[in-house]
Amino acid sequence: MMGSAKISYYLHLLLSALAFTPSNAKTAAEWRELSIYQVLTDRFATTGLTAPDCWIRSYCGGTWKGLERKLDYIQGMGFEAVWISPVIHNIEGNTTWGYAYHGYWGNNPYKLNPHFGTPDDLKSLSAALHKRGMSLMVDIVINHLAANQTPKAVDYSAFPSPFGNKASFNPPCDIDYANQTSIEDCWLVTTPPPALADVDVANSTVFDAMVGSVVDIVKTYNVDGIRLDTARHIPKQYLAKFQDAVGVFVTGEALNESVAYVQQYQGPLDSAINYPLWFVLVDTFMGRTTFDYLAATIKTEEAAFSDVNALTNFLDNHDQPRLASRDGDDVIRDKNAVAFLMFTSGIPVVYYGFEQRFTGAADPVNREPMWTSKYDTKAPLYQYISKLHKIRAVASSITGKAAYFSSKVQILGTSQENMALQRGPLVVVVSNVGVDGTTASLKVAASNFTPGTMIVDLLSCSTAKVGKAGGFVSPPNKGEARIWISSKHQQGFCPHISS
């Protein structure tokens, strides 16, 4: 039986979950207006801003306090939110796959991971972000708890109550990814250890305790949003209950390339991580397919999702190879890809180190220490992302933020090498030929520009004249993207051009 102290604590968490409605929580509509910078806490910055050498599978020393001390670097690119890796206590010691530096092997949802700092450190990070007008997103795992043992040897008593017994988890089994019931009820990892014991969410005592622990984190640390790990491994009715209880924006991970599959998770949750778009855009910007495929995916998603602008879009992350590791990638392809990311429908997410062209491929080498870059604010992609944020601010100020970020991107035309997109007052033309390629001009047949208007590319300050039906020719730019706007709205980006 549970001790009276544990019963009281559990009841406290449950009542908090039922009653908690954060007064300052941003809605999904407000999150649509943000851009997110994703960090692995252990790899971003140490408390003393040192640069230690470390094994890629071990703790490297990054902390919440170190991250707080490098917020100028993140905000300098224009990001309005920071997504940090899971904060709860993880298993200790070495495993088959190294240490739990990433945070996804939690074993006690009621305690923080001391490797990242103290409760006061996390509160301080949250307060520092909010003082800057920025938001905090925390990665959360409710699907499983970890044990550095095989399934038959798991010591369930090591987990805190009410997780400390075998009945709190589904029976061990390997996932059959062709079977949704198996995806939801079997264990994400069985062997080799650490095993990830699948929480029995149908057990109300266990599920309510897990949700209550998350509500407590949100409340205690003033969390604005959640990235929910392994969301597709949890039945949707329980995702809906989780969303209602936590009271903040939640974007869920459902790793699948099918739009029809992933769209099921927006509804139970506010948002889904946009894996269907990611699979296509990587192939497109690496030049392995034409822009027609990307255009078709955009249209399919607009029809399928209830709010495409609340989806979280990305180019790479901690689970996927970095874009710069791809065959044929170069800085020009990166620029085009991130320009697309920043102006298409949805919330852009940039994984730390992209701006420094980190080249780590598959996990774990895509989790490099950030300090190896010396946080270079003069790096070309750092400067480029900063400029893209400024252009987003101009565009949304012209239409109004709510109108701009609720609008859906319009596809104005595609070719083998180019795509033209309209969002608010902008026409963005992206390319996939890279630094060594050559592009032809792209003839945009129609746009929202008024005939006779002079337009300017905010990246190069080239100009063009708009013709009938808003049509114009976007000339080649050595593979670089162009972002066109009426010259009267260029707001000092090109001072020599009359507004």
Q: Which residues are catalytic?
A: 229, 253
Q: Which residue carries 């945070």 as its tokens?
A: 103
Q: Is 29 in a helix, a strand, or coil?
A: helix
**In contact, 413 and 440? CB cutoff 8 Å:** no
C-alpha 5/C-alpha 384 separation (Å) is: 54
Q: Which residue carries 């595609």 as its tokens?
A: 414
DSSP 130-188: HHTT-EEEEEE--SEEEESS-GGG--GGGSPTTSSSGGGBPPP-B--TT-HHHHHHSBS
Q: Is 90 in a helix, a strand, or coil?
A: strand
C-alpha 4/C-alpha 263 separation (Å) is: 43
Q: Is 494 in a helix, a strand, or coil?
A: coil
- Inter-CA distances, 72 with 11, 51, 68, 218, 377, Å: 40, 18, 9, 24, 10
For residue 16, the 8-state DSSP code is H
Q: Give, for 109, the enclosing helix (H) or strand (E).
A: strand 106-112
11's CB contacts (< 8 A; 6+ apart) are none
- Inter-CA distances, 442 with 263, 290, 298, 420, 489, Å: 33, 14, 20, 8, 23
C-alpha 267/C-alpha 486 separation (Å) is: 38
C-alpha 209/C-alpha 54 separation (Å) is: 36
C-alpha 245/C-alpha 222 separation (Å) is: 15
C-alpha 249/C-alpha 25 separation (Å) is: 8
**In contact, 477 and 486? CB cutoff 8 Å:** no
149: amino acid identity, one letter: Q
C-alpha 472/C-alpha 425 separation (Å) is: 15
Tokens of 397: 């100020």
- Inter-CA distances, 46 with 59, 67, 125, Å: 11, 7, 13
**In contact, 428 and 337? CB cutoff 8 Å:** no
Q: Which of 338, 280, 346 lies closest to 31 in space, CA to CA?
A: 346
DSSP 371-436: GGGTT-TTSHHHHHHHHHHHHHHHHHHHH-HHHHHHSPPEEEEE-SSEEEEEETTEEEEEE-S-TT
